[in-house]
Amino acid sequence: MRKFSLRALILPALAFALSMVFGGLLISLSDSNVLHKAGHPLAFLKAAGASAGNAYLALFQGSVFDPGLAKPGQWWLSLAPLSETLVGAAPLILAGLSVALAFRAGLFNIGAQGQFIFGAIGASYVGFHFHMPIGIHLIVAALVGIVFGSIWGGLVGLLKARTGAHEVIVTIMLNYIALYFLQWLLGTTTFLIPGRNDPIAPPVLNSARLPLLAGSDFRVNAGILVALAAAVFVWWLLNRTTLGFKFRAAGANTFASKTAGISVPFVMTSAMAVAGALAGLAGAVHVLGDNFQLTSGVAGNFGFDAITVALLGRAKPLGTVLASLLFGALGAGASAMQAKTNTPIDIVLVIQALVVLFIAAPDVVKSIFRLKNLKTAGGLVSKGWNG
């Protein structure tokens, strides 16, 4: 069992720094105030720096700390953006863990999105349809979300184990099926609010909602604790259990695993079932903690961002948590940045995309920072393709 090392963080940190630099260039070059000064080099540079600086300041204020939100005697209100970051990060951590766990077992789970949707459906239905005591209701709703996601994920593993169908193709198709199933479901009488016909499910009852963590001034809820607990669980599963050993062995070398008597079909099915359970829990946490009402867009981009954070976190639980917090912050800060400085929200997407690009092409980062001896775990991105 190898020890955690700080060196593993160097590459992602540099990739992020580099992306921020490129993002800053884009921000200043898309600012008309800056471009007007193109004839005067000094003024141009000053304006460019100010433009990027203001945008990033707004990004920070929108995601971590904004003194402008404080009221007399209530300084802590300036922490509201941090609460938003955590609300967004919780489902992302869970979905990211789903992708990361599958990666470690040698499977590329593109299907977190579909598993997320099924988890959300299950949790939402239990949450609004049944009446149960407080606490128990929440647990049952979350469990049903986990089971739904697990079935949708396990199906992928089973198909791969039995027929050799490639999980990337299967998960992409199952994502579509999940999305259209959700859209159909929202039109059925069970999921319509009585007297209305817009495709929005009834809100989850209070007894099934995740409790708030910091009072009614903040939206941050117990979902973030669930996500952190899940990260610890995934670490334990991978490093301290025989099942996790099988996952890692089959993920690293199928041939040697087979030769040593490990059943690779069993690994495929069970790893995808656990991955699906995590993504399903992500959907449940989103519905029970933040969204409350099931809509066709409930999954947003969580299932796909999950792939990004798992890559950025190098398929390790701690890395995935850190990457998800970063993406949660970028997501929360983006709208504040647009509102305050007129910087397009898309810049955040560009920064996210650049981070992925630099992680996927570590040689670029290494040559820019002249790091020759930094070892990188290559092949993560292509792992799942080995069939």
Partner 1 sequence: MSLELRGITKRFGALVANDSIDLRVERGEIHAILGENGAGKSTLMNIVYGLLTPDAGEILVNDSPVSIKEPSDALAAGIGMVHQHFMLVPVFTVAENIVLGHEKSKRNGTLDLDQVRADIKRVSDEFGFEVNPDDLVEELPVGVQQRVEIIRALIYDAQVLILDEPTAVLTPQETDELLKIMQKLADKGTSIIFITHKLREVKLVADKITIIRRGKVVGSAEPSASQDELASLMVGRAVQLNPEKAAHTIGDVVLAVKDLVIKDHSGRDIVKDISFDVRAGEVLAIAGVQGNGQSELAQAMINLEEFVSGSITLAGQEIVGKSVKESLRAGIAFVPESRELDGLISSFSIAENFILDRHDLAPYAKGISLFPKVVDEHAVKDAAEFDVRLQSVNDPISSLSGGNKQKVVLARELSRPVKLIVASQPTRGLDVGSIEFVHERILAERDEGRAVLLFSTELDEVLALADRIAVMYRGEILATVPSTVTAQELGLLMAGVVHA
Nearer CB in complex with partner 1: 104/137? 104
Kindly state the smallest distance separating residue 259's Cβ from partner 1, in Å: 5
Q: Pick the binder of partner 1 from 22, 44, 245, 304 (CB under 8 A).
A: 245
Query: Which of 58-66, 141-149, 157-165, 261-269 is the region at the interface with partner 1 (rule: CB under 8 A)?
Result: 261-269
Residue 260 as a binder of partner 1 (CB under 8 A): the answer is yes
Binding partner 1 (rule: CB under 8 A), the pick from 52, 121, 231, 249 is 249
DSSP string, 77-118: GGGHHHHHHHHHHHHHHHHHHHHHHHHHTT---TTHHHHHHH
Residue 241 binds partner 1 (CB under 8 A): yes
Q: How far apart are the first and last CA of the chain?
A: 27
Stretch that binds partner 1, among 19-27, 76-84, 113-121, 247-255 (CB under 8 A): 247-255
163 binds partner 1 (CB under 8 A): no
The residue among 33 and 241 lying less far from partner 1, judged by its C-beta, is: 241
CA distance 248 to 227: 22
CB 86 within 8 A of CB 224: yes
Minimum distance between the CB of residue 253 and partner 1, rounded to whole angstroms?
A: 4
> What's the min distance (Å) between Cβ of 242 and partner 1?
4
Under the binding rule (CB under 8 A), the answer on residue 172 touching partner 1 is no
CA dist 105 and 94 (Å) reads 17
Question: What is the Cα–Cα distance from 160 to 167, expressed in whole angstroms?
Answer: 6
374 part of the interface to partner 1, by CB under 8 A: no
Q: Which of 207, 263, 293, 296 binds partner 1 (CB under 8 A)?
A: 263
CB of 119 vs partner 1, minimal distance in Å: 24
Please identify, using beta-carbon distances, which residue of 186 and 249 lies nearer to partner 1.
249
Residue 215 dihedral angles phi and psi, to the nearest 5°: 80, 175
Token pair for residue 102?
Answer: 């599958």
Q: Based on CB atoms, which residue is closest to partner 1, 257 or 269?
A: 257
Site string for partner 1, 339-368 (x = CB under 8 A): ------------------------------
Choose among 55, 86, 328, 349: nearest CA to 226: 86
How far apart CA 195 and CA 369 sit, in angstroms, is 62
Q: How many chain residues bind partner 1 (CB under 8 A)?
A: 23
Q: Yes or no: say if 170 and 156 are a contact pair by the CB < 8 Å rule.
A: yes
List, as one string, the DSSP characters of 285-347.
Answer: HHIIIII-S--TTTTTTHHHHHHHHHHHTTT-HHHHHHHHHHHHHHHHHHHHHHHHH---THH
The CB-of-274 to partner 1 minimum distance in angstroms stands at 12
Beta bridge partners of 71: 74
Residue 353 CB contacts under 8 Å (≥ 6 apart), including other chains: none
- State the nearest-atom distance from the C-beta of 270 to partner 1, in Å: 12
Residues that bind partner 1 (CB under 8 A): 1-2, 239-246, 248-249, 252-253, 255-263
